[in-house]
Amino acid sequence: MSKEDKKPPITPRRKFFTLMAQNIGLGAMGGLLWTGYAAKAKSSPLTLRPPAAIKEEEFLRTCIKCGLCSEACLNRPSNIDKETNKARPATLKMAKAQDSVTIGTPFFTPRDVPCYMCEDIPCVPVCPSGALDPLLVTNEKNELDPQMMDMGLAVVDQNSCIAFWGIQCDACYRACPLLDVAIKLEYDRNERTGKHAFLKPVVVMNACTGCGLCEKACVTEKAAIFVLPREIALGKPGSHYVKGWDTKDQQRVEERVGKDVTTHTKRSEKKPQDYLNMDLEY
């Protein structure tokens, strides 16, 4: 009798349990894959999006992951290398599984390839879903204006920037497309030598577009100037503080006259005599 003849017959009951085990295994595998996808459903808060991208939460709901913005970035006429006559790597990349970005959405890494602030901003008009809004980069003349881009804000690490060490370096300043507008050099006397001067780069918050050309040009091993999303780079003082020199901010306060805008704490309910010269209570 052959080995095949010795195998027990496949009964309906045995077939049922076999299929059940297979389905359980497939279900578990699908669950693991879904868990991995769900973990990638939200990008890192440090993700830099293309020019004219709407707010991140809306962007993720609106972007259809078509890749047209990345293609327009790659195929722009100014992206052709004059020496090889071939297209250089595009600024915009479409996120893959290994990236810390929602899969299929566009982003860029300035240290690799910054945004070159093309005059016609080719990546924006091709967006079919509105995830990139042309109105955000359209000026009063109804023209696309690269200076209206807001991809992030450059931040200088003063501990790592060699200009703050007294070593003359203006690489980021020279690389900035808005020369002496988005990055300025602050002259300061070197007290140690009494002879030399510091040339410290200072980022102008309202002018910086977050293109990352400064980060790409930085000469340090790890860039001492780098672009962060504006919400991450900037603090938030709170609505109860007022800019005395800002007319609009003064108007905001005037509109709130009669409303209680003070900060209330347990201590604020007491008189100063009740807690001064006493041990800490809070």
* pLDDT tens sequence across 54-72: 999 999 999 999 999 999 9
Task: Please calculate the CA angle 237-242-245 and round it to the nearest 5 degrees.
Answer: 120
Going along the chain from its start, the domains and CATH numbers come out as 43-149 (no CATH), 152-234 (3.30.70.20)
Report pLDDT for 239: 77
Percent of residues, the chain, with pLDDT higher than 70 = 76
Give 34's pLDDT tier (boundaries 50, 70, 90): very low
What's the mean pLDDT in 128-157? 97
For residue 278, pLDDT beyond 80? no
Question: Could you tell me the pTM of the whole model?
Answer: 0.73
